[in-house]
């Protein structure tokens, strides 16, 4: 993965008080069906991912970080409540809600994780790879 590219990915929250930008590669959007995502979002959710070092947020004070587990935090806009980020405590990664990217440039969907905990009211019919837990291997990254 080469983070020296000049590709720019941008987006923000519903009320526009929070804007983010990634200059570098992003991981394809992964649909997460874990119980935590289902509870917090009311449905499965799509997250991309970037290196923290490649990411900037316009107003860090507009983000509220919620301790979601012993290993990660979730960030949302304290003004409108848009859920934007999932950030593990270790490493250089930050996951970004795919729906928060500007519509002209959204990382394409590449697969499903925690498919075994998906509720019975929907089915998987998109042909994307499915994993019963975390992704096995390295999901595709996009330069822009």
Per residue in 60-119, pLDDT (tens digit) is 899 999 998 999 999 999 999 999 999 999 989 999 999 999 998 899 999 999 999 999
Q: Classify residue 77: in a domain, yes or no.
A: no
Q: Classify residue 21: in a domain, yes or no.
A: yes
Burial class (CB in 10 A: 0-12, 13-18, 19+), 90: exposed
Domain ranges, residue 110: 8-59+90-133
Res 121: pLDDT: 95
pTM of the entire structure? Answer: 0.90
Q: Classify residue 141: in a domain, yes or no.
A: no
What is the CATH classification number for the domain harbouring 120? 2.170.150
Number of domains in the chain: 1
Report the share of the chain in percent with pLDDT over 70: 95
Please determine, for residue 3, whether its predicted confidence score (pLDDT) is greater than 90. no
Q: Classify residue 3: in a domain, yes or no.
A: no
Q: Classify residue 139: in a domain, yes or no.
A: no
Q: Classify residue 81: in a domain, yes or no.
A: no
Res 9: pLDDT: 95
Residue 8 CB: number of other CB atoms within 10 A? Answer: 13
Res 6: pLDDT: 53
Q: Could you tell me which residues are beta bridge partners of residue 64? A: 76
């Amino acid at each position: 993965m080469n983070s020296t590219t000049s590709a720019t990915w941008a987006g923000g929250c519903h009320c526009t008080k929070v804007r983010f930008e990634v200059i570098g590669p992003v991981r394809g959007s992964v649909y997460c069906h874990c119980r935590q995502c289902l509870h917090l979002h009311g449905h499965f959710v799509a997250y991309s991912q970037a290196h923290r070092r490649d990411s900037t947020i316009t107003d860090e004070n507009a983000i509220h970080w919620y301790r979601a587990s012993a290993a990660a935090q979730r960030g949302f806009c304290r003004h409108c409540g848009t859920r934007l980020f999932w950030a593990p405590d270790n490493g250089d990664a930050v996951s970004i809600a795919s729906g928060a990217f500007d519509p002209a440039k959204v990382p394409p969907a590449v697969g499903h994780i925690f498919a075994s905990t998906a509720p019975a009211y929907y089915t998987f019919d998109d042909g994307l790879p499915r994993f019963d837990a975390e992704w096995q291997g390295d999901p595709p990254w996009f330069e822009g």
